[in-house]
Amino acid sequence: MIIRNGNVVLKDGVQKCDLLIENGRIVKIAENIPANGSEEIDAAGKHVFPGLIDMHVHLRDPGYEYKEDIESGSKAAVKGGFTQICCMPNTNPIMDNKVVVSYVKHKAREVGLCKVHPIGAITKGEKGEQLADIGEMKKAGAVAISDDGVSVKSSRLMRLAMEYASGFDIKCLCHCEDKELVDGGVVNEGLSSTVAGLKGIPRAAEDIMIARDIALAESLDVPVHICHVSTHSGVRLIRDAKKAGVKVTAETCPHYFAVTDELVTGFDTNTKVNPPIREEIDKQAILTGLKDGTLDCIVTDHAPHHINDKNVEYNTAAFGISGIETSFGFAITYLYKTGVLTLPQIAEKMSAAPAKILGLDGGELKEGGVADLTIADLDESFVIDPAKFVSKGKNNPFGGYKLDGVVKYTIVDGEVKYKA
């Protein structure tokens, strides 16, 4: 296959050239590659990115297939431009053993769309009492461990998990939340929670656990990754830790850099997410953190729910936003078009950094590299309509928002898996 005339997003800039793909690898990046009877895709006027990688997704399979399954989640991923996704372990049963890890790997291979990498649980049943079988899960194909959805309450157990994971050359992805401080809160604690009469979650609930996990990583001299950072104070903690040489990486999501918690005063339960959407000071800190490299990755934390989980009063609704089909558009509209990040930086946050953090093949366009590509028209816009999502989860609060950046092709191992 030859991709012709595209604006190719390379590590050090954007170059107008062709890409020649053979046997699932990129064999040549150059101008005017001679035709050799290959299939050709004309990418004139479009941008060719390294295949996007989302290292934080909930596929709900096994156990909650009415919310999402591996097939529907994979279809949504390739439509959103993602060639690789990493799925969190809060399934039913919990992905805390090699059997469930193998099931996810096998089912993803059968579906055959994007690459799906399981993330195993840190503790058995995500109960925070006993370590899961980390080595067995790694052998079966888990690329990291996390108790995402809950924090590991015991600092001693978290320490052991970090040491174990490091021994198997995988990372702990930390959901940072002090449950006792959350105390039944449903939105960010601040003016909007007061106006709405909804119980607030203080920033300290997130920050205390970020600080603890950074302290553990520093004392053990092992790496740690902080999930879905939402607070200005959390960004500061991570920045200071990086300056001190702590091996910490971190991610954030579109709903933390694009909007503020003023949204919750409309009582749309689709705005209910964990950690909560916060205030302008937090949004600006997240943007700065992305710009200065404090925040390494952009993830979706794609959390699909059935309509019945959201079509209830705010306090009892499930937490989560279904966002894998809109994430790239948010990055182009709110980061690239506003001058916060360049295109190579967006490729770094949405592809190279996740690949590096988790040790995945891919993440950049280079000769000899894997032929995972996302081709997009950055000048074409679309209006978000959750009813048209291919994900089973239609729980997205941004219906009616106009975004730039339409994914035209998603190519995995040199094969077209999605075409607009």
Instruction: Give residue 265's pLDDT band: very low, low, confident or very high (50, 70, 90).
Output: very high
Whether 301 is catalytic is yes
| CA distance linking residue 182 with residue 320, whole number of Å | 16
Q: Are 227 and 233 in contact (CB under 8 A)?
A: no
**Percent of the chain, pLDDT > 90?**
99
Q: What is the pLDDT of residues 149-173, one digit of tens each?
A: 999 999 999 999 999 999 999 999 9
* Lowest-confidence pick of 34-48, 250-264, 287-301: 34-48
Instruction: Give residue 36's pLDDT band: very low, low, confident or very high (50, 70, 90).
Output: confident
Instruction: Tell me the mean pLDDT in the region 54-78.
Output: 98
| Cβ neighbour number for residue 399 with a 10 Å cutoff | 14
Instruction: Give residue 191's pLDDT band: very low, low, confident or very high (50, 70, 90).
Output: very high
Q: 406 - beta bridge partners?
A: 377
Catalytic, out of 61, 296, 301, 309: 301
Q: What is the pLDDT of residues 319-333, one digit of tens each?
A: 999 999 999 999 999
Instruction: Tell me the mean pLDDT in the region 74-93.
Output: 98
Residue 322 lies in a domain: yes
State the DSSP string of 201-230: E-HHHHHHHHHHHHHHHHHHT--EEE-S--
CA-nearest of 15, 86, 82, 7 to 51 is 82
* The pLDDT value given to residue 162: 97
Residue 112 lies in a domain: yes
Q: What is the pLDDT of residues 269-299, one digit of tens each?
A: 999 999 999 999 999 999 999 999 999 999 9
pLDDT for residue 105 is more than 90: yes
Which CATH number belongs to the domain containing residue 128 in this structure?
A: 3.20.20.140
Strand 224-226 with 171-174, pairing: parallel
Q: What is the pLDDT of residues 221-245, one digit of tens each?
A: 999 999 999 999 999 999 999 999 9
Per-chain mean pLDDT for the chain = 97
Cα Dmax for the chain: 66
pLDDT for residue 202 is more than 90: yes
* The pLDDT value given to residue 37: 85
Instruction: Give residue 213's pLDDT band: very low, low, confident or very high (50, 70, 90).
Output: very high
| CA distance linking residue 19 with residue 369, whole number of Å | 11
Residue 168 lies in a domain: yes
Residue 190 lies in a domain: yes
pTM here is 0.97
CA-nearest of 139, 203, 138, 148 to 173 is 148
For the chain, how many structural domains are there in total?
1
State the DSSP string of 241-261: HHHTT--EEEEE-HHHHS--G
Q: Are 52 and 363 in contact (CB under 8 A)?
A: no
Residue 105 belongs to what domain range? 53-330+356-364+379-403
* The pLDDT value given to residue 38: 85
| CA distance linking residue 389 with residue 82, whole number of Å | 15
Q: What is the pLDDT of residues 340-351, one digit of tens each?
A: 999 999 999 999
Instruction: Tell me the mean pLDDT in the region 86-101.
Output: 98
Residue 83 lies in a domain: yes
Residue 59 lies in a domain: yes
| CA distance linking residue 218 with residue 222, whole number of Å | 7
Residue 12 lies in a domain: no
* The pLDDT value given to residue 298: 98
Instruction: Tell me the mean pLDDT in the region 71-93.
Output: 98
Residue 178 lies in a domain: yes
